[in-house]
A = this chain, B = another copy of it.
Amino acid sequence: MDSRRAESFSDGVFAVAITVLVFNLLPIADKTGFLTVTSRGGHLGLVHYWPAYLAYVVSFLIIGIMWLNHHLMFAQVSTVDRPVLVLNLILLMGIVALPFPTALVADHLTGSAGSHGQATAAVVTYGLLMIAISISFGATWVYISRHLDDLAGRQPVRPSRMATLRFVAGNAGYVAGTLIALASPVAALVIFGLLAVYYMFEHLPEPASDAQAASRDED
């Protein structure tokens, strides 16, 4: 199949999944606790829900930057075969599910019922899903980089083994974050956010731009 169709469908799923994150904020508007603590100042009621905002920002960065790397990954190829489609579908299944542990974290990181055990369980669930997403992302990338001759229409820009290694190795951060969640759920959530920033810079190799490719074709 033409890789552009698969990428276009994936783009749509990423765009919807990243927007679904706001549904973890909407119920706050209905909460009876909104602005009842007027003695401490006007806005404190909303500040109380900071775990929801933190989880929103972290998950937004993760999905947004994962979209960026997903695009760079598919930019390497011009056609996709069935294994790529299956791996991509499993990857999307994880991305779409991310608002769920985001909601767990938003509801249970603190609050009246927020015992330490619940916060830990919420962030560990978040971490386990991120590990699963990372594995399926890495698997897709390893498969594509090994089949570039078949999948890339033009002469592929072969990524260095080092780049692939660094990319996949970074996933170890999610394992570390999940383990840290057992001690400090908040610290683990911050680590997940920092990992997103890490992947902003330690990303997949960018393919030659269309302009460059076109000028090369003309030689």
Residues of A within 8 A of B (CB): 1-2, 5, 8-9, 11-26, 28-30, 34-35, 38, 42-43, 45-46, 56-57, 60-61, 64-65, 67-68, 71-72, 75, 78-79, 82, 85-86, 89, 92-93, 96-97, 99-100, 103-104, 106-108, 117-118, 120-121, 124-125, 153, 200-201, 206, 209-211
Contacts and interface: CB of A to CB of B under 8 A. Distances in A.
A206 B182 CA distance: 49
Number of copies: 4
A51 B67 CA distance: 29
Nearest to A74: B5
Contact of A96 (B1, B8, B21, B42): B21
Contacts of A43: 121, 124-125
Contacts of A118: 34-35
A26 B99 contact: yes
Nearest to A86: B200
Given A12-B14, A21-B96, 13 more contacts: A1-B68, A1-B71, A16-B16, A19-B20, A22-B100, A23-B26, A24-B26, A26-B99, A28-B100, A43-B121, A46-B125, A56-B97, A79-B211
A85 B100 contact: no
Contact of A206 (B1, B56, B75): B1
Contacts of A26: 23-24, 99-100, 103
Given A1-B206, A29-B100, A38 B117 contact: yes
Contacts of A45: 121
Contacts of A99: 22, 25-26
A56 B153 CA distance: 35
